[in-house]
Structure 1
Amino acid sequence: MDGGKTPAHELAIVPEGMIADLLTRQASFDAVEKVFAAMASGDAVNFPVVREALGHEDALYGFKGGFDAAGGVLGLKAGGYWPHNLERRGLINHQSTVFLFDPDSGRVKAMVGGNLLTALRTAAASSVSIKHLARKDAKVLGMVGAGHQAKFQLRAALETHAFDEVIGWNYHPEMLPGLAAVAEEMGLPFRAVDLPGLRAADVIITITSSFAPSLLADHVSPGTHLACMGTDTKGKQEVEAALLARASVFCDEVAQSVTIGEAQHAVASGLIDADSVTPIGAVINGTHKGRQSADEITLFDGTGVGLQDLAVADAIVTTALARGMATVVPI
């Protein structure tokens, strides 16, 4: 202190429109991989999620927060789903903002646009699972789902592993050319298949909002790695529960996986128990061996946790401040 005055405190603001210029897929990957490891070692914890129906605009609104002691990151993501945004306002339906706080004093230190951040951190999580669980000789990437998020997933996967071909299925096949364009942009051929055709895939990413399984156990060959990224709510389901019984199941966070993730159905039907689900951070840390054989099916249940958002937001703020791109406001 100088003259008895409290030092000035500043808030760094990084708006949504700047995120694309500040956050690379590699930076996203690194932040998510690191925080998964911190979670598994007990150095980072997610707080209970709050999610409520507003009774207004049919919107769902909530908070995801946590504290990463290893990374010194404390904060929350506030936001949700407004299903009429696109048609009524020309805005995307998912809206969110991340707030970071100084863990030493509790004072707010940053506010970061959370929409693109969410898409990139979700794609990063599946890519982390591919790096640590897929066979090193995997050549064919299969996609189930072809919506907006699927393109982020595909780009991130192709930057993480050297695939030779992309195949895909979607409930609405007219959307598949969007994936084909991304594959072509990355220099790979794309082929539309029916669900049984996914047996040709060495890695499969599912990214749908389905409440009934489309991918069945019979559609998956031995040795496949699956990243199931669409199930994050009670009742949602992308893959047949019997598939989890055949697989070694990994997740971002066990508590979420077995209650709102893909594992909820296999646990409820007694096909697996919660103790058989392993945090992927344990593989990253080396306390779990991960894949044990070439024929083993591995499955990553990615429900999305608040610490992913905070880790990526912290990376964005660090870069924005270093480049002089953040708006800094004394408070």
Structure 2
Amino acid sequence: MYIVPEAVIDGLLTRADSFQAVEAVFASMARGAARNFPVIREAIGHADALYGFKSGFDRESLALGLKSGGFWPGNAERGLTNHQSTIFLFDADTGQIKAVIGGNLLTALRTAAASAVSIHHLARPDAEVLGMIGAGHQSTFQMRAALEQRKFRRVVAWNREPSMLDRLAAVAEEVGVPFESVTLDRLGAEADVIVTILSSFAPVLMSAQVRPGTHIACMGTDTRGKQEVEPELLARARLFTDEVAQAVSIGECQHAVAQGLVSPEAITPLGAVIAGQQPGRQDETEITLFDGTGVGLQDLAVANAVLIKAIKNGSAIKLG
């Protein structure tokens, strides 16, 4: 078996690699070749932590395994990332353990790749203004990946604590795109693409703030009760997701479905668009919304990709 430590992953897997891996596994899911197994996610009653498991199997890539980890809100004070995880890959032919791989950076890369895939397939081709809502650890990964999908000429952003937007402003300066901190009203009125990446249990972005033709990637809701946008916004939009079962149970769609504003049948797996089974955006005035709940197959896809690279360049540690 191999061990790929967290420390060697940075610089090993590119955003393009992550995009390709996530896009491919979404299509594999739509073709019925890949399946996520039921998610376990629980409060452990200690350190305010949420802990769980995501797992699955892709018959096309033979990626089999699980991600174990969760969210420790006090980690920032310790100089650690709040999200902590490890990915375990198994040999699909024998069931023997294949690799243990650090999952923190991979989780950030695959989450950003998922929203980037949604922008690539659903945003208007002429989108010019990117809106960012949220400025936590994941936000810079989201922004970098999003900026590569269209020729954005400006970024507008909002966060509850405006001082935290400095990290996004630094990314914008690095890539040479003008950046401005704005109100939510301005952000919704000006942005062609909006990425929400919050840990919120109440809606922040309201339906009335979003104009026709916008693409929204909701990437922060992955637990029952979490919420980033007003349910009425989902009722206005064409809805897409990584997995419908998760979207209606722990994703952004959970609230609109519970209120009877949206039916699960109205939610299209993004993989079906990628595989050519369902249409994506159908006109320039349509609001499209991607509910990115985060599925185990995404983790396995990027872990499989980084394992191949780590073995090739010798950075994977072989045991036995």
TM-score range, shorter chain: over 0.9
Residue from 250, 265, 272 that aligns with 2:255: 265
> Matches of 1:139 and 1:86 in 2, distance apart?
34
Q: 1:277 Cα deviation (Å)? A: 0.3
Which residue of structure 1 aligns with residue 299 of structure 2?
309
> Matches of 1:44 and 1:94 in 2, distance apart?
25
Residue from 107, 110, 117 that aligns with 1:121: 110
SS of the residue corresponding to residue 138 of structure 2 reads helix
Calculate the aligned-residue CA RMSD, in Å: 0.9
SS of the residue corresponding to residue 165 of structure 2 reads helix
Residue from 141, 152, 166 that aligns with 2:130: 141
Which residue of structure 2 aligns with residue 65 of structure 1?
55
> Matches of 1:303 and 1:151 in 2, distance apart?
18
1:322 aligns with 2:312: yes
> Matches of 1:47 and 1:268 in 2, distance apart?
23
Residue from 101, 106, 109 that aligns with 2:90: 101
Q: 1:61 Cα deviation (Å)? A: 1.6
> Matches of 2:73 and 2:198 in 1, distance apart?
16
Aligned residues: 319
Which residue of structure 2 aligns with residue 174 of structure 1?
163
Measured against aligned partners, the alpha-carbon deviations of 1:207-229 in whole angstroms (never above 9, x if no partner) come to 00111111111111110000000
Which residue of structure 1 aligns with residue 282 of structure 2?
292
Q: 1:57 Cα deviation (Å)? A: 2.8
Residue from 167, 172, 195 that aligns with 1:183: 172
> Matches of 2:248 and 2:155 in 1, distance apart?
30
Q: 1:106 Cα deviation (Å)? A: 0.3
Partner amino acid, structure 2, of 1:100: L
Q: 1:22 Cα deviation (Å)? A: 1.0
Residue from 109, 120, 131 that aligns with 1:131: 120
Partner amino acid, structure 1, of 2:31: S
Which residue of structure 1 aligns with residue 182 of structure 2?
193
Which residue of structure 2 aligns with residue 85 of structure 1?
75
Higher alpha-carbon Rg? 1
Unaligned runs of 5+ in 2: none
Partner amino acid, structure 1, of 2:179: F
> Matches of 2:11 and 2:169 in 1, distance apart?
25
TM-score by length of 1: 0.95
Q: 1:53 Cα deviation (Å)? A: 2.4
Q: 1:86 Cα deviation (Å)? A: 3.1
TM-score by length of 2: 0.98
Measured against aligned partners, the alpha-carbon deviations of 1:42-77 in whole angstroms (never above 9, x if no partner) come to 100000011222233332221100000011110000
SS of the residue corresponding to residue 238 of structure 1 reads strand
Partner amino acid, structure 1, of 2:239: V
Partner amino acid, structure 2, of 1:123: A
> Matches of 2:163 and 2:68 in 1, distance apart?
34
Measured against aligned partners, the alpha-carbon deviations of 1:262-314 in whole angstroms (never above 9, x if no partner) come to 11111111111000000000000011111000000000000000000000000
Identity of aligned residues (%): 66
> Matches of 1:82 and 1:177 in 2, distance apart?
24
Q: 1:160 Cα deviation (Å)? A: 2.3
